[in-house]
Chains A and B, each alone.
Chain A
Amino acid sequence: MDTEIIEGLKKAIKEYDTEKAANLAKRAVEEKLDPLKVLNAMTVAIREVGDAFGRGDLWLPDLVGAADALQAAMPIIEEEIKRTGAKRESLGTVVAGTVFGDIHSIGKTMVCTLLTAEGFKVHDLGVNIKAEQFVEAIDKYNADILAMSALMTMTAPEQKKVIERLKKEGLRDKVKIMVGGGAITEDFAREIGADGYDPTAPGAVKLARKLIGK
């Protein structure tokens, strides 16, 4: 039974089946499966998809489809981890989002998916996120990394505002900050005081590991 649910869940993620993934996650909770074991299986599945994307065997719609299926199951399992008080292991906690004034989500979603696949605990705040929302989430989730995206030159300066806000709140040194998006360059990242920049999603994963020394 356990194997059936876990293998089914992995399959659902790899076949982009959101509904099935959510249902199997619920069943895993009902059947009292070890939520950490379930989470691990989900991470394995999304890693396989991420690797296939990296190799060029899968494409963006596949990656996003798998991410959706993962997201459908994730809160159910996370809730169960919290309820049972199980200790979740992760490489680190990431708070991510696209900055205020910018509604572009694809690059940010790619990075979040690949970070999850790598073993990070990712809180994707979404798009159009104000400085105070980032600050609040960093505090709430005790984040190790803040990952911000901005596609447009007009919204890129918003990343700087978030960093300034973090300084003001005394949280700047608590997190490593990585930035990305079409409008961002290495120079810009340095100028605004970010800890790192990478133009690609797989590169962002390597950067995240480097930033926290893992």
Chain B
Amino acid sequence: MLKGFTRNFKPLEILSEGELEAIHRGTLSVLRKTGVRFESKKALKLFEKNGCQVDYTDNRVRFPEGLVEECLRKCPSSFRVKARNPKNDMIWGGNTVYFQALSGTRSVDLDTWEPKTPTRKEYYDAITCLDALENVHIIPWYTPWFGFKNIPSVMAMPEGLAARLRNSSKFTCSNYSMGCEVFNIQMAKAVGAELRSSMAASPPLTFYEDAVENAFRTVEAGFILLITSGSVYGGTSPATIAGSLISGNAEIMAGIVLAQLIKPGTRIIVQDFSFPQNMRSGSPGFGAIEISLHQVAFNQIWRRYKIPIDGGVSYPGSKKIDYQAGYEKAIIALIGALSGTNTIWIQGAMYGELAFHPVLAIIDDDMVGMIGRFLRGILVNDETMALDLIDEVGPIPGYYLNKEHTRKWWKLEQFIPRVADRLTYPEWLKGGKKDCLSLAKERYQKILSTHKVDPPLTQSQEEEIERILKEARKYYRKKGLISNAEWEAYMEDLKSPDYPYA
């Protein structure tokens, strides 16, 4: 079992009881009065059968409060999830905090900082790196990248999942696009792993059919459903944080009702993926401090409902691995961790989800180590208070460096970063003035030359994954979603030595 980190103290809270209750009541009132639009006949019928008021003219569902509260209670407050290797299984909920890698649409050149499309080899190598990093607990969908060279976009998700299952045994996830979840579920089952998949609202207050269909498939497969509200406040939810929380939580609760009606007791994780709108460009305000305010309140609300939380999306606005990227990531991740989320997205991404680099993931992994150490808090007992030792050492010339207590405890108390520069000036000057970026580049090469996935897929698992991929390729080709030119480049790519599975 992968324990992740445990927060050993009370979480940071910023809402009063009265404010919490007002937001709760407000959310229920939006669900009852305004309702949520579901572009899915199947879902509408299920809602109607269970006492919701369904308006078929605009596909809007209005929810009775009793049903919403009953469905919230049906969500388990903590649960185990199965990774490909049982040593990477996780228990979600309570005071546990896990970290997951982020993803990017493209890679980036570390000299020019220009975006570039990764190759298949770079894609597989980046997964090897994430598998090796001790503080990456989850390698989610689209990670490391949304796709790679020569892969038709419809195949990006199944190819990505196959790569993660091949080069990592950590818990992974998958998402939906053009029905690819059918193939993803088959692949996970073939290797004995569970998947977390999402049902994302399209704010404001709408779920499209593909999201709903994926919810049905995920729940019916017995996997974990992540219900996401990803509004941009000021654009797709009110500009105020309080209003945005209500609108987003109404979406999530509507999703929870659906999941619990499909199968009571379904394992749910709720996700806050909201950003303030950048009122200049219209893009989400990556790296903004309001993300943290939204997150703290979100965490407080959902801890009250006792449903595991995913959040603290630490996307920086910076396009470089620089000071700005560092402080934006650190602030968002740390506040998320302190305020009681169960999972935080952090390693590897820069400029929102538009770029990812494994070298950045290595630097971020140190940051996670620091946060994880902080969460563990301070252990206070007879041994750590060390009264006898203080008495034994006494004043100067007494000292602690030669004591057994020091040898035992310093390593438990101190976190040692892997690539942060902690040298003295003379050491640093003599060592070539390396910063954390150059140290991370070195570590990346070392990981690639030494790390092996544990365990690799068996021969029959490999064959089964490739069979499912072949089926997906054939399916999308037949559906006309892969053009002739795309197909040719794709088939050529599969013949390369970087793809020994075909």
**Which A residues fall within an 8 A CB radius of B?**
56, 59-61, 103, 106-107, 110, 153-154, 156-157, 160, 182-183, 185, 200
Number of A-B contacts (CB under 8 A): 36
Q: What CA separation (Å) do A60 and B234 show in the bound complex?
A: 10
Q: Which partner residue on chain A sits nearest B117 by CB separation?
A: A187
Contact partner, A106, options B177, B178, B235, B354, Cβ 8 Å: B235
A60 touches B280 (CB 8 A): yes
Residues of chain A within 8 A of B153, CB atoms compared: 153-154, 156-157
**Which B residues fall within an 8 A CB radius of A?**
105, 115, 146-147, 152-153, 156, 177-178, 202, 234-235, 239, 277-283, 354, 483
A-B contact pairs, 28 of them (CB 8 A): A56-B280, A59-B279, A59-B280, A60-B277, A60-B278, A60-B279, A60-B281, A60-B282, A61-B234, A61-B279, A106-B235, A107-B282, A110-B282, A153-B146, A153-B147, A153-B153, A153-B156, A154-B146, A154-B153, A154-B156, A154-B177, A154-B178, A156-B153, A157-B153, A160-B483, A183-B105, A185-B115, A200-B281
Q: Which partner residue on chain A sits nearest B283 by CB separation?
A: A182
Min CB distance, B167 to chain A, in Å?
22
Residues of chain B within 8 A of A160, CB atoms compared: 483
Residues of chain B within 8 A of A61, CB atoms compared: 234, 239, 279
Other A-B pairs beyond A154-B178, A157-B153, 20, CB < 8 Å: A59-B279, A60-B277, A60-B280, A60-B282, A61-B234, A61-B239, A106-B235, A106-B282, A110-B282, A153-B105, A153-B146, A153-B147, A153-B153, A153-B156, A154-B153, A154-B156, A154-B177, A157-B152, A160-B483, A182-B283
Q: Which partner residue on chain B sits nearest A161 by CB separation?
A: B483
B234 touches A182 (CB 8 A): no
Q: What CA separation (Å) do A107 and B235 show in the bound complex?
A: 12
Q: What CA separation (Å) do A185 and B483 show in the bound complex?
A: 20
Tell me the dominant secondary structure on chain B's binding face: loop
Min CB distance, A76 to chain B, in Å?
26
Which one of A60, A110, A153, A156 has the highest number of Cβ atoms from chain B below 10 Å of its Cβ? A153
Q: What CA separation (Å) do A60 and B239 show in the bound complex?
A: 13
Min CB distance, B486 to chain A, in Å?
8
Min CB distance, A59 to chain B, in Å?
4
Q: Which partner residue on chain B sits nearest A56 by CB separation?
A: B280
Residues of chain A within 8 A of B283, CB atoms compared: 182
A182 touches B354 (CB 8 A): yes
Q: What CA separation (Å) do A160 and B277 show in the bound complex?
A: 29
Residues of chain B within 8 A of A107, CB atoms compared: 282
Q: What CA separation (Å) do A79 and B330 show in the bound complex?
A: 56
Q: What CA separation (Å) do A200 and B281 show in the bound complex?
A: 8
Residues of chain B within 8 A of A153, CB atoms compared: 105, 146-147, 153, 156
